[in-house]
């Protein structure tokens, strides 16, 4: 809801400045965004569909936020794109990067990587921000829970981990880290066997 209201405020501001082309662009991207959210009924969706939704989200952010955001994608072949994953598994962490790592001084670099090894899909989402706070990092990797702060921060991370536990049982793994130079990194390893995914869908 907050995201939706923020975008409506952007459209209102663009209307005040009579920026018709950007109004058309952000409205179309918002329609695609809402359509995806409302249409997802199954617990797993094709990774290609999730990637397209994440690209759409970033395009909206580029209009909404006056800072430079760049997203690089690697390894998302047609074969990999057909593998089913939980909805919002990419978008949640890209949204976190925009929320916590975007800066007026530096361009925000977001990297999405996918790698298929036999029956396992590895997803890696990283950014060029300041990284995870150490307390949060330790809690995520040891318990999979987010420390309560009373403000509902990082609830998206908690939701993704909870859904993976329900959908995959023991057939998944995750790891949160900070990159040696700078930035946060999230890695997921998910079961990509077709027979397993058919059962879950």
Do 54 and 88 meet the contact criterion of CB atoms below 8 Å apart? Answer: no
User: What is the pLDDT at residue 54?
Assistant: 94
User: What is the pLDDT at residue 121?
Assistant: 97
Contacting residues for 41 by C-beta, under 8 A, at least 6 apart = none
**Can you give the pLDDT of all 201 residues of the chain as single tens digits?**
667 777 888 888 888 888 888 888 888 888 887 887 777 677 889 999 999 999 988 988 888 887 889 999 999 999 999 999 998 899 999 988 988 888 777 899 999 999 999 899 999 999 999 999 888 898 889 877 765 554 555 678 888 888 899 999 989 999 999 999 889 999 999 999 877 776 555
- Distance between CA atoms of 7 and 23, rounded to whole angstroms? 10
User: What is the pLDDT at residue 35?
Assistant: 80
Tokens for 120, please give them: 């396992």
Whose structure tokens read 């082309």?
Answer: 21
User: What is the pLDDT at residue 67?
Assistant: 80
User: What is the pLDDT at residue 19?
Assistant: 83
- Distance between CA atoms of 43 and 50, rounded to whole angstroms? 12
User: What is the pLDDT at residue 150?
Assistant: 47
Tokens for 201, please give them: 């869908």
């Amino acid at each position: 809801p907050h995201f939706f209201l923020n975008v409506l405020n952007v459209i209102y501001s663009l209307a005040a400045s009579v920026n018709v082309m950007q109004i058309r662009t952000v409205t179309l991207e918002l329609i695609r965004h809402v359509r995806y959210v409302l249409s997802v009924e199954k617990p797993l969706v094709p990774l290609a569909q999730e990637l397209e939704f994440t690209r759409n989200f970033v395009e909206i952010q580029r209009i909404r936020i006056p800072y430079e955001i760049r997203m690089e994608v690697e390894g998302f072949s047609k074969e990999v794109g057909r593998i089913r994953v939980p909805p919002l598994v990419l978008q949640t962490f890209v949204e976190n990067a925009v929320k916590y790592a975007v800066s007026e001084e530096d361009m925000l670099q977001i990297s999405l990587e996918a790698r298929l090894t036999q029956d396992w899909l590895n997803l890696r989402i990283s950014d060029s921000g300041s990284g995870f706070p150490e307390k949060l990092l330790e809690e995520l990797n040891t318990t999979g829970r987010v420390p309560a702060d009373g403000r509902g921060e990082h609830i998206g991370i908690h939701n993704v981990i909870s859904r993976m536990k329900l959908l995959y049982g023991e057939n998944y793994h995750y790891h949160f880290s900070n990159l040696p130079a700078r930035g946060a990194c999230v890695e997921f390893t998910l079961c990509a066997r077709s027979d397993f995914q058919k059962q879950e869908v």
